[in-house]
Amino acid sequence: MFIEPNLKGEKRGWIEVICGSMFSGKTEELIRRLKRVKIANLKVEIFKPKIDIRYDEVKIVSHDTNSIHSTPVASSRQILEMVGDVDVVGIDEAQFFDEGITAVCQELALRGIRVIVAGLDMDFKGVPFGQMPSLMAVADYITKLHAICVKCGHIAHISYRTIAKEEQVLLGEKDVYEARCRVCARD
């Protein structure tokens, strides 16, 4: 980790966004970065949206069952209200947060906090998802991860929905979604 210096000698924060489709390793990468922060003895707080209870009500859990403790919140504003004196803030499933999440991340970065955010960049239709485009626009660093297409083995970036439901937010795992490439998603 590095801290961007300025002329006054104070630390500056920044925003990192980890994005991609389901099964691309976003949460795994978020957990990896946050565990490294803890190894460095930095103070960290981790948040996730209250609606994400797929694996655990409190922990952030990757598809391969790695986990890290987090605080579920109902709104992005709660993050600002709950964050204490920390060096790093981790946020998972950012696409599920309200439109204030971008301003919250910017405020944290202005406070000198490193903000690491993970989320789906597109929904199951291939449309930009929630506030992720806004977060990527203000991010200092963006990591786009790819899954492997379950049909052909090429790079996949679509979270293909295997059941006929049209609502944008439908929590699920391999029972509802699979990773597909652009070509196989048309099948």
From the list 16, 45, 93, 178, the catalytic residue is: 93
User: 127-153 in b/e burial notation, b at 16+ Cβ within 10 A?
Assistant: eebbbbebbbeebeeebebbbebbbee
90 in Cβ contact with 97 (< 8 Å): no
Please confirm, yes or no, whether 167 is among the known catalytic residues: no
Calculate the alpha carbon distances from 28 to 3, 32, 41, 65, 66 in Å: 24, 6, 20, 9, 7
Please give the positions annotated as active site: 93
